[in-house]
């Protein structure tokens, strides 16, 4: 098995979007288009990673930081490459990067109906926070226009 974990670049974006579309439980929006993802990567250097298995993109983990907390997005492993520790390896790599930036806590948002995702996160030591409600507001209407 030739597994390579590396920092995500703009060259990985189209492949990442294709991977996310193959993975159950990943919610995509206009923020998951080429241009917004390019901005996200430039604002969060050293925090987003890809996993290549035998030269094929099989995993991603996006992480952003507000300088105080880390936020994980789109941990995804291709269904054909699951149960090999790739997801955990990606998250562990993000944790190293967060520690290097002196960030000590990380959050993730998981859809309530994503049973597979919830099971994974609980099994790797994450705590479900039932006292917090996540709320969203669209500042501008969604515009889907990715060339990917």
Q: pLDDT tens digits, residue range 89-102?
A: 999 999 999 999 99
DSSP the chain: --EEEEE--GGGHHHHHHHHHHSTT----GGGSHHHHHHHHHHSTT--EEEEETTEEEEEEEEEE-SS-EEEEEEEE-GGG-SSSHHHHHHHHHHHHHHHTT---EEE---TT-HHHHHHHHHTT----TT-------SS--------
**What is the CATH number for 111?**
3.40.630.30
Q: pLDDT tens digits, residue range 61-71?
A: 999 999 999 99
144 domain-assigned: no
pLDDT band at 140 (very low <50, low <70, confident <90, very high): confident
Residue 45: domain span: 3-123
138 domain-assigned: no
Question: Residue 143 above 70 pLDDT?
Answer: no
Please give the mean pLDDT across all residues of the chain: 92
18 domain-assigned: yes
pLDDT (0 to 100) of residue 136: 80
pLDDT band at 45 (very low <50, low <70, confident <90, very high): very high
Total structural domains in the chain?
1
């Amino acid at each position: 098995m030739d597994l390579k974990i590396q920092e995500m670049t703009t060259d990985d974006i189209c492949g990442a979007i294709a991977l996310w579309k193959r993975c159950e439980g990943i919610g995509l929006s206009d923020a998951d288009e080429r241009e917004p993802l390019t901005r996200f990567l430039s604002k969060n250097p050293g925090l987003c990673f890809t996993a290549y298995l035998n030269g094929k993109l099989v995993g991603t983990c996006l992480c952003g930081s507000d300088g105080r907390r880390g936020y994980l997005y789109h941990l995804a492993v291709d269904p054909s490459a699951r149960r090999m520790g790739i997801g955990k390896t990606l998250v562990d790599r993000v944790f190293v990067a967060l520690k290097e930036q002196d960030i000590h806590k990380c959050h993730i948002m998981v859809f309530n109906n994503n049973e597979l995702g919830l099971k994974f996160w609980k099994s790797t030591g994450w705590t479900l926070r039932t006292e917090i409600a996540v709320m969203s507001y669209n500042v501008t209407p969604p515009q889907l226009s990715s060339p990917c």
